[in-house]
Structure 1
Amino acid sequence: MGNEKTDGFHQIYEVFSKRSHKGDFQHQFSLLAPNKEMAFVMAQENFMRREPVVDIWVVKRDDIRMMQPEERQMVNRLDNKDYRLTKGYGYLRKKWRQYEQKMLDEKEILSWGDDGKTPKTTR
């Protein structure tokens, strides 16, 4: 960030808004302003009168820090996170089915009745 050229007088600000007390802040737009007070007034005039919002944040773009390339490489190294997601356990259904099928042995299957559904009772 910060590669954008300005005239030296204006600075780039990012505007975030929150629509409800329980909601999250979302980025809305960028604007050029000479200082943070003017940026806040411009954000209110351009956004708050059009949309219902509870709160807004106006942040100078230069104050937002992004990840450096070497930091991204470190995050990419940690790619095996399936254990944190429920989709990572999808193989268990297949394993459980195999386990259940192994429990039925040949004697038990042959002891079932003629209809093949209910087991015979041997006393």
Structure 2
Amino acid sequence: MQNQRASTESFYEVFEVFSKKTDLAHFQHQFSLLAPNHEIAIVMAQENFLRRESAVDLWVVKRSDISMLQPAERASLQRLNNKDYRMTKGYGYLRKKWRHYEQQMLDEKEILSWGEKQRDK
């Protein structure tokens, strides 16, 4: 019995199904399924998914072909997440600098008053 179970488990592979509902949408994971090969997996995904919902594209990927980062590799992503320079909040100090600059600027009345002072002399 156990020998038969082991041969059945090695016969089927796990496939992950992703779908795209519109041309502008992103792919989303829908479900996993067991199938003996890619062709059968695609047919099963179409039968199980497209019967209930519409989609413009369907991806069926063998789970063993999907790679993921190991915990040590995930730690290296932390240094890549420092993207504060892309956020507009990093430029908030410019409003204060501009206000200070504007206060130091000469206005039209002040400049014209210089001419009146020179005429008075």
Distance in 2 (CA, whole Å) between partners of 1:50 and 1:26 is 16
What's the TM-score, normalizing by structure 1? Answer: 0.67
1:26-79 C-alpha deviation (Å, 9 max, x unpaired): 211111222211111111011112111111000011101111223222221234
Q: Which residues of structure 1 form unaligned runs of 5+? A: 1-5, 109-118
Name the structure with the higher helix share: 2
Count of residues in correspondence between the two structures: 106
Q: Which residues of structure 2 form unaligned runs of 5+? A: 1-7, 117-121
Matches for 1:1-123 after TM superposition, within 5 Å = 7-101=9-103, 103=104, 122=113, 123=116
What's the TM-score, normalizing by structure 2? Answer: 0.68
Q: Judging changes above 3 Å, is the alpha-carbon distance between structure 1 residues 84 and 41 closer, same or farther for their aligned structure 2 residues?
A: same
Distance in 2 (CA, whole Å) between partners of 1:20 and 1:104 is 55
State the AA in 1 paired with 2:72: E
Distance in 1 (CA, whole Å) between partners of 2:44 and 2:96 is 58
What's the RMSD between the two structures over aligned residues? 2.8
